[in-house]
Amino acid sequence: MSTKHEVDIAFARLGLQKGRATRAEVIAARRRLARELHPDRQGGNPELMAEVNRSGDIALAYVDEHIVVDSAANSARVTPPLQQPVQRDHPSFNIDVLPVEACEALRIVASWVGEIIDEDPPYLLEVDMHDPYSVWCRLELVPDAGATTVTVSATGECLRGVNIEAIRDVWIDQLNQLDWQTLDPDQQRPW
């Protein structure tokens, strides 16, 4: 749980107003700053990038816990906080390829464990997972020193009694089962 001061600093660092920013605006601000500050880019700064990631996490937690005005809908409609519990594992795991290739690999795995509901390639996948758990998963991909860091969030009625690490382990296990030597040579490969 973050203090009020930490929340204020997080929103200021992201250039957003606390209490007015939506989840989508927090994610967009985090991505914008990541394009500037990521250590893999010229002029990037690992310390500032770590601060941006922490600020993003704090701001997302705050937005998820509070009612915010949905500015994307350009109305006074209010978005209630999530009713189901959300578990988040940040960072969950790394894949030793860039986000484009990692996203393609995760899309293949998503077809094995459920179905893709929404995506913003190569940085976001939302999957309705059916096997072995019936949960909704959000996979956020961030470039990280020539690799990709993946954060897994999950929610759903079946999540009660299941920890996020078990869901993360399903994704890792399935990724480790990708064996391009045994697949059809005509099948398009993500790398």
Where on the phi/psi map is residue 173: left (φ > 0), alpha (ψ -120 to 50), or beta? alpha
What is the structure's pLDDT at 77? 38
Under CATH, which number does the domain 4-79 receive? 1.10.287
What is the structure's pLDDT at 82? 45
What is the structure's pLDDT at 188? 53
What is the structure's pLDDT at 27? 86
Number of Cα atoms under 13 Å in the Cβ half of residue 173: 10
Residue boundaries of the structural domains of the chain: 4-79, 86-176
Mean pLDDT of residues grouped by 10 in the chain (191 residues)? 84 87 85 80 80 87 67 42 69 88 90 91 91 89 92 82 88 82 50 43
What is the structure's pLDDT at 67? 52
Q: Answer for the pair 177, 111: CB distance below 8 angstroms, yes or no.
A: no
**Do 86-176 and 4-79 have the same topology in CATH?**
no
Amino acid at position 40, single letter: D
CATH class of segment(s) 86-176: alpha beta
What is the structure's pLDDT at 148? 92
